A and B are shown apart, each in its own frame.
Chain A
Amino acid sequence: MADELKKPVEGGFKKLLKNIGSAIEDAASLEVSTFTGKFNYQAVELIRNEVDRARVDSVLKKMTLTGDVNLDLFAFTSIKIDSDVTSVVRPDINLEEHKDLLNFHKEMLTESRAARKEIINTVKDLVKNI
């Protein structure tokens, strides 16, 4: 790379490092929320709207605009970095009826925890070298 390009690249890296350094604070807690409902939003529409590029926000917005949203919080779990765990679940949970939903929430919790741990390790590895 020519010298004139070297400086911006160095600048880019420094900026990246700064951003990564500040990310560690954001990773101090983890919250997993699971909502369920009849969205009247057909799966086929998700596909038609190019699922790969769909944004959850825009999906939600579209669902809201249709006026048919009946969004229920099924479960909410909060985990602090010091391992405090808070869970909120619907009072009318039926273990048999809601088995799949519960499994889903639990799976996402497990995966999110693992992913968060990896991010924290990444940031730690970086910070120790700065």
Chain B
Amino acid sequence: MEDNQLIDRLENEYQSLPDETDEIVQHLIELGYLPQLNPEVFTDIQISVAEEAFIADLKQADFEDFKRDALALLFDRRSVLLKYSRKATDIDEGYVFENLPMPGSTGMIARIIHYRLELFGLWSLPIHAPYGKITARALKQLALYCEMDELSAINQTADIEGISRMLIETRPNEDFILTFSSAQIDKKYKRKELNSFYGRLKNDLPTDSAFLKKFEKNVIDVKKRHFNSGFLSVESQDDFKNFVIRLIQVHQWQEGLYDGNLDGKVGDVSIQSLRDAVELDRENTGKKERLKEKELLLFVDGYCLLNGYYFLRKYMLESEEGSGTKLWEAIDEQLSRADQEERQTYLQNVEEIKKRLRAETEKAKVVNGFFRRIYCGIKKVLKRALNFVKKFIKDLGRLIKKAWGFIKRVFKAFFEDLKMGIKAFVEGVKFLFGRKEIITTEGNSFLISKFQLDADCLNLCQDPNSVLVQNHSNKTRYQFAAMNFSLRMVVEILNIFIKAVSVMLWPLLLIQIVKVFKRISEEFKKLKSSVNLTTQTIVT
């Protein structure tokens, strides 16, 4: 392998990828294992105690997937913590429960329920508070909004896209025309803007809509701009509509368009994020279908009206099947058709994203005394990104400027997969030509196994016992599972290269690595934890 420039270059690429963020601490705060303070202030001991409590609760919760990964905890604790803390706070494809917890419970399920209720503005006590009457009351409220029983309602929050779809399908459209008081009251009112918003409203609501009639009477038909603020005030206090405002805020947060506080209050940051969402949508819409901001947002008399129906339907439209693999395949297809200049521009833009991601601290932040967090689930954002594939090749630079929050989420996921893919590929290649040793110790006993492709397996042992043998066997099984995964990567990537050697260029190769990694990962889901174990592989 001396002079193998490909491996060297891939290893350099690996080194240049943005660092993993300190995501676990953020999730531990979100789940109430650490107080809502600036993550920087916690000592290692505090974090370690919180991690232990989190793991203990995970074990107790008896989640099937965690049972399968429990062994991996011995070898790669960090990856397991990251995976399960992310899963516990996921609202794309989060946990669903068979039963609600017993009163008084402070375990994992109670915490996840409180976390989700808090996201939707229905919980204001500490997340680690015992499951009790107040939880039951909040769940009842949620169930009322969703028009289903409490358990189904909390399970519905494991998939926020699903909850939006269900609401849109069951509630009248006018329930999603939202009103809130806005700081932007000094914005000069223009009749033209009012007409635009009204035009869109007529399009979205049935002609006999009660809201439409009230809107016409109290806003459209008034003379000299003397709107009936009583109507707007009543509208702004509607509980269900406030819940929908919160839902939209959570959607915006999920998609990387909003990083303000999740508090249901709509201020400048929320409004800007809604504008960004419209702008992002315009980027990828045909000219005829393009909507203007004034069709969706209206500022009158100290209030802002928002066509939430449009936004929720947009989130629903993203529900067509899609995944990271599909996105990377679509980008790959576009890249293989792109000319040299486009590829070069794409590559430069990706380098720019890497630099910006490295420069930014992705840790949860405390701003003005409030704890701000970054949503870490990726399914939704990747689905949405599928719509922007052409822009990724041709116009990524403009997207970086216009929708950085969204782009960074997409590429963070890309870099994570690339990192794992390169690691599996390089270690797989090295394994083919190297030697690997597995060592298990306990007290003065030890077992060493040395595996080689050409010189087989050499075992050395001192005072073995059955526990040691079992641990060593488990370790070996995991290592080989990880190695098999790596070898599959090697075969797939080399085969792609053999077929496409004349057109293979660097951005294409990187995309191929991610694509292959994702595909094999999906095939080898049961080995997911083993993949993480490649960090433990000793290659000589």
Do B458 and A107 have beta carbons less than 8 Å apart?
Answer: no
- List residues of chain B with CB within 8 A of the CB of A101: 461, 464
Asked if B203 is an interface residue, CB under 8 A from chain A, the answer is no
* A46 with B441: CB separation less than 8 A: yes
Q: Does B368 contact A (CB under 8 A)?
A: no
- The CA of A9 and the CA of B13, in the complex, are separated in Å by 14
B residues in contact with A36, CB < 8 Å: 460-462, 464
Is B540 at the interface (CB under 8 A from chain A)? yes
Given contacts A56-B448, A108-B459, contact A9 B453 (CB under 8 A): no
By size class, the interface of chain A is: 35 or more
Distance to closest chain A CB from B16 (angstroms): 14
- Within 8 Å by CB of A122, from B455, B461, B487, B501, lies B487
CA distance A103 to B442 in the complex (A): 18
Task: Tell me if B445 and A56 are in contact (CB < 8 A).
Answer: no
Q: How large is the interface on B (under 10, 10 to 19, 20 to 34, 35 or more residues)?
A: 35 or more
Q: Which of A15-66 contact B (CB under 8 A)?
A: 15-17, 19-20, 23, 26-27, 29-39, 41-44, 46-47, 51-56, 59-60
* Cβ contact within 8 Å between A26 and B494: no
Given A39-B462, A126-B494, verify A5-B506 contact (CB < 8 Å): yes
CB-nearest residue of chain A to B452: A26
Q: Is B487 touching A129 in the complex (CB atoms < 8 A)?
A: no
Q: Mark each residue of chain B from 184 to 208: 1 if its CB lies under 8 Å from any CB of chain A, else 0.
A: 0000000000000000000000000
Please give the residue numbers on chain A whose beta carbons come within 8 Å of chain B beta carbons, in ascending order: 1, 5-6, 8-13, 15-17, 19-20, 23, 26-27, 29-39, 41-44, 46-47, 51-56, 59-60, 74, 99-101, 103-105, 107-109, 111-112, 114-115, 118-119, 122, 125-126, 129-130
Tell whether A35 pairs with B460 under 8 Å between CB atoms, given A6-B505, A8-B5, A129-B498. Answer: yes
Q: Select A55's contact among B480, B507, B540, beta carbons within 8 Å.
A: B540
Rounded to whole angstroms, the CA-CA distance of A122 and B477 in the bound complex is 18
Interface contact A13-B432, CB-CB below 8 Å: no
**What residue of chain A has the Cβ atom nearest to residue B6's Cβ?**
A12
- 16 example contacts (A-B, Cβ-Cβ < 8 A) are as follows A13-B498, A15-B3, A17-B498, A30-B456, A36-B462, A43-B444, A46-B439, A54-B439, A55-B437, A55-B540, A59-B448, A104-B447, A104-B464, A108-B457, A111-B480, A119-B432
B154 to chain A, nearest CB (A): 43
Determine if B465 and A100 form an interchain contact, defined as CB atoms under 8 angstroms apart: yes
The 3 lowest CB-CB distance pairs between A and B, nearest first, are A1-B506, A12-B6, A26-B454
Of the candidates B9, B437, B457, B507, the one having the most CB atoms from chain A within 10 angstroms of its own CB is: B457
B443 at interface (Cβ–Cβ under 8 A)? yes
Given contacts A16-B4, A111-B473, A114-B480, 20 further A-B pairs with CB under 8 A are A8-B5, A13-B501, A26-B454, A33-B459, A35-B458, A37-B462, A54-B437, A56-B458, A59-B448, A100-B469, A101-B464, A105-B459, A107-B469, A108-B449, A111-B480, A118-B480, A119-B487, A122-B490, A126-B495, A130-B498
